[in-house]
Amino acid sequence: MNENGHNVVDIRSLKKYYPVRGGVFKRHIADLKAVDDIDLSIRKGECLGLVGESGCGKTTLGKTILRLHEATDGRIYFDQPKDKIEEVERLLASQRPEEIARGKTLLGIMDITRVSRKRLLALRKKLQIVFQDPSNSLNPRMLVKNIVAEPLVTQKLVESRELEDKVVSLLNTVGLAREHLMRYPHEFSGGQRQRIAIARALATNPDFVLMDEPTSALDVSVQAQILNLLKKLQSDFSLTYLFVTHHLLVVKYISNRIAVMYLGKIVELSETEELFTNPLHPYTKALLSAIPVPDPDTGIEKIILSGDVPNPIDPPSGCRFHPRCRHAREVCREEVPKLESAGEAHQVSCHLWREL
Amino acid sequence: MEKLIETEDLYTNFFTFEGVVRALNGVSVVVNQGETYGLVGESGCGKSVTVRSMMRIVQEPGKIVGGKILLFLSSEDRQKGIDIIKRSEAFMESIRGDDISMIFQEASTSLNPVLSIRDQVGESFLLHRRGELLEETLKQLADELKSNGFPLAMAWKGFQRWLFRRELESLRRYEKHVKEIDRELYELEEKTDPRSTRRKSSLNARRDRLSEHDFLVSAVKKSPFLERYYKKIHKIVENKIIELLKSLGVPNPANVLKSYPHELSGGMQQRIVIAIALACNPTLLIADEPTSNLDVTIQAQIIELIKMLKENIITSVLFITHDLGLVAEVCERVTVMYAGDTCETTSVKELFKNPLHPYTKGLLSSVPRIEQVEKLHTIPGTVPNLINPPAGCRFHPRCPSAMKICAERKPPMVEYKEGHTVSCHLYPGEEV
């Protein structure tokens, strides 16, 4: 990855809270902080892996980028030059009201969370998603032909005459053929259904595809097929992936960089090799040691975390990982650690990473 | 090594509207005393059906259509084993949850949402260990009756003791009866002449009908005020559950006892399911993908727990999973299954070092590894539909080294070297 390559997606202090309502009048009593103050940039042409346990907010973060969820606060820039983003950030941070106002008007065009519906439709052409379970994400009453053609029709990209050829060529790229056109999703196996979902995502020729656990519902041998296909497509179509998963070995295989999330925060962000050879955050270390290794002779000592992921409605004070961390100290309980740079292309959010 | 449970050429079919699904195609596995045995394979390969057949809980429209399941439990039936397919349902009920118990795949769906944890864990104590519970209660009551107390209370306690004694007597009578029938059945097992066949079926029917029903005890249990006498037993069961939950690392067991499944987290639910399975100290614990819906860190906790239990409490574990990593970590011996066939059986180390069957090789190389850099190997195609499975070796349409004979004849199970059997035409030899 070249450092100067510009970012496809630039996320600045993004927050997504779900209101929790209770009492007789359904008062707003608390917030479920699914994504809490996240800064993240996804470079052009890379595959960024987003790893974490269930309930840590990784899917929410992904879907907020596509504006399938409305963000509570924060900015998501899509495909904007770096200096322009910095300019807007400077305007927003300034003290003078007129500069802030100008920043806000600029945001109206640049920020995914604020653009108008009309612009959003155009943006959606560039942002696509592959969902977790293909048996739920494909409409059982639609033919494969119509499923794959739907984005093309809505975006008015192809004339109806050429539609079928376009769909067939899309199916070919994912390893299906013309004979599959007139079938329904239930006639396919899990792996083939996921291929259809991928073809649908590629239909509008996107720049950025969100992969929301695309292989977790598949068997090992089929998973390998899909992973290889995704890798091939990425280089063929110069795609950028955000690969959300809980499976560390899958993410290791497919990603260039990995972000580890815990309870709505990114705890570590690093290049893949670096993360696996030199994990800094205690949570990442525990996650890595918990992977079952398909080799009976590995003598890796396991770090078993005690307890469960805490409730995100009432997260622990300070570092959110401290109740399960075996190195926790006083400072972890009180101060929230910042994501700080720990060497080249490696960021970690822990008070004690230097000592551990 | 002594065998504990063995299936011989087991065939299980599902009779659906679309046709007969041939889920098991002659499965032979042996679980020995004191080992952790793994069954690996992709979804639909028949690993769950195998263990469900072992427990005889194959769901409708499934049916065991051929083969033997031999159980070697007590020392007296070590020689030839009990063929549990031929035994009565009542016999199976006495074994399930007592000698063999099972952890099901999804904890959240295998727990009953309308019963509290206390009721669900306590059920197996009350079902299988009632005799011991009654004895314990009687001992307690005897102590209480020795001391002086308020006359009415003492009278109530005396009444309880009388009832418990009566219940214990009828239970013992029932157990004696059952034992006699089981012994006779065991002796008749191998005989096939018409006379003993008739005798067998009548004995099996009698065992199903047999009950320990005692009119007086059940009348008291149903009457509105008098049924309170049974609370004593529930109190004892509660203490046992608390002890059990504590040993499984459940924090604050007294509170967990009163809660319902939805109030617990996924890892905690799985612990409860394990507690239900362990309540009666089973000889064999069957774990059917116990961690498939859990996070990695929670999975590590549960695996550690199962390993700990294997060392301290249960003798044998039959571990089913699709994750080769878990197999490497937990099991000692493994069978790889594909579409109802057993491909290969060997020790774990041998399996990873020297896999023989082409499917095993494919499976091992399609798992992403930590040191993975080159392209992932894949097995082309998908698992076949078992209504119309491929003839011969069921793997041959996907096999890179398929030969002509593969499509014609099912390969026999061959001993390649000691402790390593494989079923593939690439390895000729004599059938075991």
Cβ–Cβ < 8 Å for A155, A204: yes
From B336, B356, B380, the end of a domain falls on: B336
Tell me the average pLDDT across B239-251. Answer: 89
Cβ–Cβ < 8 Å for A17, A32: yes
- A295-321: per-residue pLDDT in tens? 777 767 788 888 778 888 888 888 999
Confirm whether B369 is domain-assigned.
no
Mean pLDDT score across all residues of chain A = 89
Which of B108, B346, B374, B382 to probe the A interface (max A CBs under 10 A)? Answer: B382
Characterise B344 by phi-psi region: left (phi > 0), alpha (psi -120 to 50), beta (else): beta
Question: What ipTM did this prediction achieve?
Answer: 0.81
A294 touches chain B (CB under 8 A): yes
Question: Cα-flanking dihedrals φ and ψ of residue B196, to 5°?
Answer: -75, -30
CATH code for the domain in which residue B62 is found: 3.40.50.300
Query: Does the beta-carbon distance from B376 to A249 stay under 8 Å?
Result: no
Q: Do B298 and B207 share a structural domain?
A: no
Which residues are CB-neighbours of A160 under 8 A, at least 6 positions away? none
Q: How many CB pairs under 8 A join A and B?
A: 119
Q: Do B227 and B186 share a structural domain?
A: yes
Query: Does the beta-carbon distance from B328 to A293 stay under 8 Å?
Result: yes
Statement: residue A2 has pLDDT above 60: no
How far does the CA of residue A100 sit from the closest CA of chain B (Å)? 44
User: A220: which chain B residues are within 8 Å (Cβ-Cβ)?
Assistant: 42, 322, 324, 363, 366-367
From B189, B212, B235, the end of a domain falls on: B235
B303 touches chain A (CB under 8 A): yes
Statement: residue B386 has pLDDT above 70: yes
pLDDT of residue B77: 61
Q: How many residues are present in chain B?
A: 432
Q: Do B143 and B67 share a structural domain?
A: no
A187 touches chain B (CB under 8 A): no
Count of alpha carbons within 13 angstroms of residue A83, beta-carbon side? 0
Q: Do B107 and B34 share a structural domain?
A: yes
- B323-362: per-residue pLDDT in tens? 888 899 899 999 999 999 999 999 999 999 999 999 999 9
Helix ranges (DSSP H) in chain A? 58-65, 82-93, 97-110, 117-124, 134-137, 144-154, 160-173, 190-202, 220-237, 248-254, 272-277, 282-290, 330-334
Place of tokens 């108008």: A116
Query: Does the beta-carbon distance from B368 to A227 stay under 8 Å?
Result: yes
Q: Which long-range contacts (CB under 8 A, 24 or more apart) does A296-305 make?
A: A296/B328, A296/B329, A296/B348, A296/B349, A296/B352, A297/B349, A297/B352, A298/B328, A302/B300, A302/B304, A304/B297, A304/B300, A304/B301, A304/B304, A305/B297, A305/B300, A305/B301
Which residues are CB-neighbours of A226 under 8 A, at least 6 positions away? A191, A194, A195, A198, A214, A215, A218
Q: Do B135 and B110 share a structural domain?
A: no
Confirm whether B250 is domain-assigned.
no
User: B379: which chain A residues are within 8 Å (Cβ-Cβ)?
Assistant: 221, 224
Confirm whether B427 is domain-assigned.
no
Nearest CA in chain A to B376: A224
Which residues are CB-neighbours of B317 under 8 A, at least 6 positions away? B35, B36, B37, B284, B285, B286, B287, B306, B309, B310, B330
Q: Do B75 and B24 share a structural domain?
A: yes
pLDDT of residue A3: 47
How far does the CA of residue B193 sit from the closest CA of chain A (Å)? 49
How far does the CA of residue B249 sit from the closest CA of chain A (Å)? 10
pLDDT of residue A1: 42
- B77-108: per-residue pLDDT in tens? 667 788 888 888 888 988 898 889 999 888 88
Nearest CB to A290; choose among B265, B300, B379: B300
Query: Does the beta-carbon distance from A304 to B300 stay under 8 Å?
Result: yes
Q: Do B96 and B40 share a structural domain?
A: yes
User: B323: which chain A residues are within 8 Å (Cβ-Cβ)?
Assistant: 292
* CA–CA gap between residue A198 and residue B55 (Å, rounded): 41
Place of tokens 């992709």: B42
Cβ–Cβ < 8 Å for A217, A135: yes
Confirm whether B367 is domain-assigned.
no
Closest CA to B97 of B53, B60, B127, B52: B127
Cβ–Cβ < 8 Å for B4, B315: yes
Nearest CA in chain A to B305: A304
Tell me the average pLDDT across B278-291. Answer: 89
* CA–CA gap between residue B201 and residue B86 (Å, rounded): 9
pLDDT of residue B3: 86
Q: Count of domains in chain B?
A: 2
How far does the CA of residue B304 sit from the closest CA of chain A (Å)? 8
> Helix, strand, or coil here: B366?
coil
User: B378: which chain A residues are within 8 Å (Cβ-Cβ)?
Assistant: 221, 224-225, 228
Confirm whether B79 is domain-assigned.
yes
Q: Do B107 and B156 share a structural domain?
A: no
Domain containing B294 equals 3-114+266-336
Q: Do B22 and B64 share a structural domain?
A: yes
Nearest CA in chain A to B348: A296
A219 touches chain B (CB under 8 A): yes
Q: Do B146 and B110 share a structural domain?
A: no
The DSSP letter of residue A21 is E
Strand partners, A346: A270
B323 touches chain A (CB under 8 A): yes
pTM for the full predicted model = 0.84
- A152-175: per-residue pLDDT in tens? 999 988 888 999 999 999 999 999
Q: Do B150 and B230 share a structural domain?
A: yes
- B197-232: per-residue pLDDT in tens? 899 889 988 888 888 778 888 888 888 888 888 888
From B336, B371, B388, the end of a domain falls on: B336
Confirm whether B105 is domain-assigned.
yes
Confirm whether B374 is domain-assigned.
no
Cβ–Cβ < 8 Å for A51, A260: yes
Confirm whether B257 is domain-assigned.
no
Tell me the average pLDDT across A101-114. Answer: 89
Q: Do B25 and B85 share a structural domain?
A: yes
How far does the CA of residue A261 sit from the closest CA of chain B (Å)? 13
Per-residue H/E/C for A284-314: HHHHHHHCCCCCCCCCCCCCCCCCCCCCCCC
Tell me the average pLDDT across A41-67. Answer: 90
Query: Does the beta-carbon distance from B297 to A223 stay under 8 Å?
Result: no
Tell me the average pLDDT across A37-62. Answer: 90
